[in-house]
């Protein structure tokens, strides 16, 4: 999506750039120099401004041109359109709604299409949506059964139909419509259309030779176009500090101009100063109003001192961020061999924010865990099973809770395995149809959910093999190698609200079954309550519940499995209700929800499954390192509490010594929930206040070394109670008490979270007093909301798609990469850019202060101290490259040290390098050095002649000596600050000094025809011919840098003495019993 056209680029881009305060300020200064008689040429501010505007415009124009080119490649590409039973080539941008499009294998869909038919007999096709949501797995789409046979250009041309659908909307996974097909009969045949019939623009056709589809949304109405949105502008803490510093320096500038204007008129209050005999006023000057003259003088002083505001800093900061982001992309430690990808930077504006994080919010599944599911065990009718079966006719049973039963009934076992083989949306990825059961061992299962594949593979391990779906018939090979066929009547897809999915199938005998699987909280309440005398059935249900709880405590993901028989009469009613709901164009989702809620009731529990999601490599070590760095880690997950708690212990978020505080539906009774919640909140707050009476932001991070650690567990239902309580006056303080508890806990686990609740938690912490910096990391679409809400969003390139990675500021392959990203890259980026900002203000104050002091010795006549060429090139050429190289390459601490000792991260937390203390240090240092430059040179000029031949130096020589000392001092100051020297640092530092000397000789060695006054002619060369000048320059540079040299010596001595004393920081309690590599 491009932003500019050829005609609006210049005005629109200029408008966008001059919205920046610094650019607008320099534009005003430039206009003042043009319109008012000022002491300096308009070139001195116009050229740097032109440079900044041009560089930014070229960058933005180039990026937009790339977008134009990419759009044209798509829009001008040709596709086949069926017109009058013939294939016609047409450009993508000319496709109209209603056109029938033919798409070949491995081609992308040019617009949003309704699938009419494909080369397969059942009208299905496989699609990958990697360019939309990053999911590389194949998804199956279906044609309505009335158009399946229309698989040639001639037959498709005979179709007469009308499609009704909803207005274009951006949700990729929702679509509501219906197709009315007209045949020779008077009655039109109506079929419902849903997301399974819609082929999205940008998706790619796979494993299918060709399809025919009709265009429903084109151009800017496609879902892909509607999903385009610019990244929300996130501002880093450094940017806010820059704006604060700008205001301070603007105040200094205004103060200097006001002081000089006032003193000028005090000076001119004496007649011999106001109009000396050698400089008589003109008649026009005498008639000018004094107020107007004072105002123009004030503006002239503003222009003279305007270089205290560093406009070129913005360009340097942008270049530093843009170029610096490549170091993350190039880092080989972030490269993952499994997916053959490394880290990706989606925005470079937040590099330094990685070094300022206070809170980390992480998803569990796919982030802390692998999201690589393996079927571990199951429970059938209250009996626990695991391991590979040794008998053909049954499962092996281990340590079941019902010891008086040998194992479950054979029919129950087979029913359970059939349920696993039938209740899913798994497809078989093959180029050709599967022709026999003998090929079943070579089958490749594909699904959007790794859980489903694990369950189907688990059933296969126990002798029941899913062979695929053909002509709406699901084929299963049982333990006796017999092929069973089930007609698939309806698939009731999974959704996060129901948290379950079902299928309705008919077997070869004509019996109709509903099979349902889902979260235990969604299945158990819908189980048919057994009669009081059915002791065996009650025991089976209780045993299954116990199995689910134990499996969850072991860290396994659990699902309940149920079924029910449906009588033919009931099915007729259910079928009618489903068709009516699916055909509805208005409120289809609500109507479907009502129907499904009615269908999925009074089911019979068969059993439960346990699937293991392994912990990611080095997840525990990473969380330990984050804790050691003073960061608070919160886990936000949709999983059940037991599973999430077990994972938190495994990844060392909770330690065995951590005391857990629970705010869940288990600890809050159903009756009088709010009263019990209030009691618990008060109780927990009192306990924590006793433990930590007072804790500031700084010692809050360090207390865990000596005090008891606390962890908090809360679920979604309780969180809703807390967040919604503010509407009731009696419970208005729930939220504040909850936040007080959270802030004093080392770690927090939020389970059973909806995506919106994840974002609410992040927003709640963001708004805490002190505005802590938040970071969210996740891998799935349900994590996008919290990723967008936090200050820094990081996406994992995981198995749940790439939506999180696409919407993030940074994306990495694994959770373990967060450690180096924050502790090394974040630390260094912050130190570099903080030094860059302080250095820019420092060198510009050094630059302008002598100019201000000079006014006291020239009658406040606005006489410039420096030549216009020096004014123009100081920030652009003489001092720009050294600081840019420093801000890209500096490593004040080795990267390995930063990652191995996470506590170093605390040294820069809280924007430490851009606080008032460091700012005042740099400001006073600049004031000291600027004073030394000026008065050192002034005392040198107390001798009227600096040469043996009696030649007297003038004011331009005076200014050039000051400027020379200035350039060498600020450059050597940066050299003293550099700890990590490369050939690039040497080249730009010594090269900049050499360039200054060369330029000064060159500028003063030629009579320039375009200059009215040749005031710098031979000044520099003559200046350096004096030994006194040489000695003065060297001496003044040494005096200026002496405080800095003294400070470095003292720091070095202190560091060595500390090393000799073998001082060590206290370790976190979590390190006491864990060999983590940090102790």
In a 10 Å sphere around its CB, with 0-12 CB exposed, 13-18 middle and 19+ buried, how is residue 863 labelled? middle
Rounded to a whole number of angstroms, the CA Rg of the chain reads: 37
Size (the chain), residues: 1079
Q: Are 700 and 630 in contact (CB under 8 A)?
A: no
Q: Dihedral (C-alpha) 933, 935, 937, 942: value to the nearest 10 degrees?
A: 180
Q: DSSP per residue over 109-154, as a string? A: PSSEEEEEEESSTT-EEEEEEHHHH-EEEEEEEE--GGGTT--SHH
**Token pair in block for residue 369:** 């865990």
- In 656-683, which positions are buried (b, 16+ CB within 10 angstroms) versus exposed (e)? eebebbbbbbeebeeeeeeeebbebbee
| Spatial distance between the Cα atoms of 860 and 261, rounded to a whole number of angstroms | 8
* SS3 sequence of 591-655: HHHHHHHHHCCCEEEEEEEEEEEEECCCHHHHHHHHHHCCCEEEEECCCCHHHHHHHHHHCCCCC
**Token pair in block for residue 559:** 């699902």
Map tokens 């080095």 to a residue. Answer: 618
| Spatial distance between the Cα atoms of 329 and 595, rounded to a whole number of angstroms | 50
CA distances for 256 relative to 36, 99, 417, angstroms = 19, 71, 85
Q: Are 558 and 640 in contact (CB under 8 A)?
A: yes
Active site residues per annotation: 363
| Spatial distance between the Cα atoms of 507 and 167, rounded to a whole number of angstroms | 40
| Spatial distance between the Cα atoms of 786 and 775, rounded to a whole number of angstroms | 9
Q: DSSP per residue over 881-942, as a string? A: HHHHHHHHH--SS-HHHHHH-GGGGGGGTTTGGGSHHHHHHHHHHHHHHHHHHHHHHHHHTT
| Spatial distance between the Cα atoms of 785 and 807, rounded to a whole number of angstroms | 9
Counting Cα atoms < 13 Å in the Cβ hemisphere of 790 gives: 34
| Spatial distance between the Cα atoms of 1043 and 1001, rounded to a whole number of angstroms | 31
Q: Percent helix, strand and coil across the chain, each rounded to 5?
A: 50, 20, 30
Residue 726 DSSP symbol: G
320 sits in which H/E element: helix 312-330
**Token pair in block for residue 321:** 């961020």
| Spatial distance between the Cα atoms of 791 and 793, rounded to a whole number of angstroms | 7
3 state SS of 38: coil
């Amino acid at each position: 999506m491009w932003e500019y056209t050829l005609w609006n680029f210049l005005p629109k881009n200029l408008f966008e750039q001059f919205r920046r305060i610094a650019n607008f300020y320099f534009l005003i200064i430039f206009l003042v120099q043009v319109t008012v008689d000022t002491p300096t040429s308009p070139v001195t501010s116009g050229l740097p401004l032109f440079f900044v505007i041009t560089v930014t415009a070229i960058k933005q124009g180039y990026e937009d041109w790339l977008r134009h080119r990419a759009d044209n490649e798509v829009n001008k590409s040709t596709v086949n359109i069926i017109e009058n039973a013939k294939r016609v080539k047409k450009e993508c941008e000319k496709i109209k709604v209603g056109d029938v499009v033919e798409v070949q294998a491995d081609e992308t869909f040019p617009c949003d299409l309704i699938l009419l038919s494909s080369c397969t007999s059942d009208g299905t096709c496989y699609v990958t949506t990697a360019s939309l949501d990053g999911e590389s797995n194949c998804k199956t789409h279906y044609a309505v059964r009335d158009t399946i046979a229309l698989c040639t250009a001639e037959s498709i041309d005979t179709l007469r139909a009308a499609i009704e659908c909803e207005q274009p909307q951006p949700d990729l996974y929702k679509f509501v419509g219906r197709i009315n097909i007209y045949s020779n009969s008077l009655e039109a045949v109506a079929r419902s259309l849903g997301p399974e019939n819609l082929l999205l623009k940008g998706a790619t056709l796979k494993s299918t030779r060709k399809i025919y589809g009709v265009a429903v949304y084109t151009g800017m109405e496609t879902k892909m176009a509607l999903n385009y949105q610019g990244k929300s502008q996130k501002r880093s803490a450094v940017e806010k500090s820059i704006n604060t510093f700008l205001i301070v320096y603007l105040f200094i500038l205004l103060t200097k101009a006001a002081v000089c204007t006032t003193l000028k008129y005090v000076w001119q209050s004496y007649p011999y100063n106001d109009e000396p005999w050698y400089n008589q006023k003109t008649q026009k000057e005498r008639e000018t109003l004094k107020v107007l003259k004072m105002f123009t003088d004030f503006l002239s002083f503003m222009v003279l001192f305007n270089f205290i505001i560093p406009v070129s800093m913005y360009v340097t900061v942008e270049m530093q961020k843009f170029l610096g982001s490549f170091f993350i992309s190039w880092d080989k430690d972030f490269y993952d061999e499994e997916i053959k990808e490394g880290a990706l930077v989606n925005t470079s504006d937040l590099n330094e924010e990685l070094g300022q994080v206070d809170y980390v919010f992480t998803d569990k599944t796919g982030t802390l865990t692998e999201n690589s599911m393996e079927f571990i065990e199951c429970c059938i009718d209250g009996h626990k099973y695991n391991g590979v079966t040794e008998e053909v006719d049954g499962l092996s049973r281990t340590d079941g809770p019902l010891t008086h039963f040998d194992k479950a009934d054979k029919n129950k076992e087979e029913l359970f395995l059939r349920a696993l083989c039938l209740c899913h949306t798994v497809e078989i990825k093959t180029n050709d149809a599967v022709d026999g059961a003998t090929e079943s061992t070579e089958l490749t299962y594909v699904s959007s959910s790794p859980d489903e594949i694990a369950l189907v593979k688990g059933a296969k391990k126990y002798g029941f093999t899913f062979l695929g779906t053909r002509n709406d018939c699901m084929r299963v090979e049982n333990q006796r190698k017999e092929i069973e066929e089930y007609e698939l009547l309806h698939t009731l897809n999974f959704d996060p609200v129901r948290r379950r999915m079902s299928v309705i199938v008919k077997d070869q005998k004509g019996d109709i079954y509903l099979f349902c699987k889902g979260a235990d909280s969604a299945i158990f309440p819908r189980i048919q309550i057994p009669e009081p005398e059915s002791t065996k059935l009650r025991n089976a249900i209780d045993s299954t519940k116990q199995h689910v709880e134990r499996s969850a405590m072991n860290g396994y993901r659990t699902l309940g499995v149920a079924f029910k028989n449906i009588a033919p009469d009931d099915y007729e009613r259910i079928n009618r209700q489903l068709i009516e709901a699916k055909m509805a164009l208005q409120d289809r989702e609500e109507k479907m929800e009502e129907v499904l809620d009615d269908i999925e009731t009074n089911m019979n529990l068969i059993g439960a499954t346990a699937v293991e999601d392994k912990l990611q490599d080095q997840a525990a070590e990473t969380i330990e390192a984050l804790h050691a760095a003073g960061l608070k880690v919160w886990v936000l997950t949709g999983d059940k509490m037991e599973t999430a708690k077990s994972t938190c212990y495994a990844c060392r978020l909770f330690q065995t010594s951590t005391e857990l505080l629970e705010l869940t539906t288990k600890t809050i009774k159903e009756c009088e929930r709010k009263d019990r919640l209030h009691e618990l909140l008060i109780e927990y707050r009192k306990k924590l206040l006793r433990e930590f009476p007072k804790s500031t932001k700084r010692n809050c991070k360090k207390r865990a070394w000596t005090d008891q650690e606390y962890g908090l567990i809360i679920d979604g239902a309780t969180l809703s109670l807390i967040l919604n309580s503010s509407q009731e006056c009696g419970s208005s303080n729930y939220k504040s008490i909850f936040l007080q508890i959270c802030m004093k806990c080392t770690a927090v686990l939020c389970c059973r979270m909806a995506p919106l609740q994840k974002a609410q938690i992040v927003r709640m912490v963001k708004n805490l007093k002190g505005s802590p910096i938040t970071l969210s990391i996740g891998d799935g679409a349900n994590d996008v909301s919290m990723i967008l809400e936090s200050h820094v969003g990081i996406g994992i390139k995981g198995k749940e798609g790439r939506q999180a990675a696409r919407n993030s500021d940074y994306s990495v392959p694994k959770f373990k990469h967060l450690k180096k990203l924050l502790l090394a890259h974040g630390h260094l980026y912050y130190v570099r850019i903080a030094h860059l900002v302080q250095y820019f203000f420092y060198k510009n104050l050094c630059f302008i202060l002598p100019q201000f002091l000079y006014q006291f010795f020239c009658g406040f006549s606005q006489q410039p101290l420096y030549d216009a060429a020096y004014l123009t090139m100081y920030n652009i050429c003489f001092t720009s490259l050294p600081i840019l190289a420093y801000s890209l390459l500096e490593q004040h601490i080795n990267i390995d040290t930063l990652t191995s000792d996470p506590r170093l991260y605390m040294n820069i937390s809280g924007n430490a390098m851009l606080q008032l203390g460091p700012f005042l240090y740099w400001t006073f240092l600049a004031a000291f050095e600027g004073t030394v430059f000026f008065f050192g040179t002034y005392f040198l000029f107390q001798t009227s002649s600096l040469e043996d031949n009696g030649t007297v130096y003038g004011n331009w020589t005076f200014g050039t000596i000051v400027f020379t000392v200035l350039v060498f001092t600020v450059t050597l100051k940066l050299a003293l600050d550099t700890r990590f020297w490369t050939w690039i640092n040497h080249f730009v530092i010594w090269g900049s000094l050499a360039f200054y000397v060369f330029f000064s000789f060159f500028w003063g060695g030629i009579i320039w025809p375009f200059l009215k006054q040749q005031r710098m002619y031979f000044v520099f060369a003559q200046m350096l011919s004096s030994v006194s000048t040489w000695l003065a320059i060297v001496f003044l540079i040494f005096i200026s840098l002496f405080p800095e040299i003294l400070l470095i010596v003292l720091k070095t001595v202190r560091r060595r003495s500390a090393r000799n004393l073998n001082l060590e920081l206290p370790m976190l309690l979590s390190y006491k019993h864990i060999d983590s590599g940090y102790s």
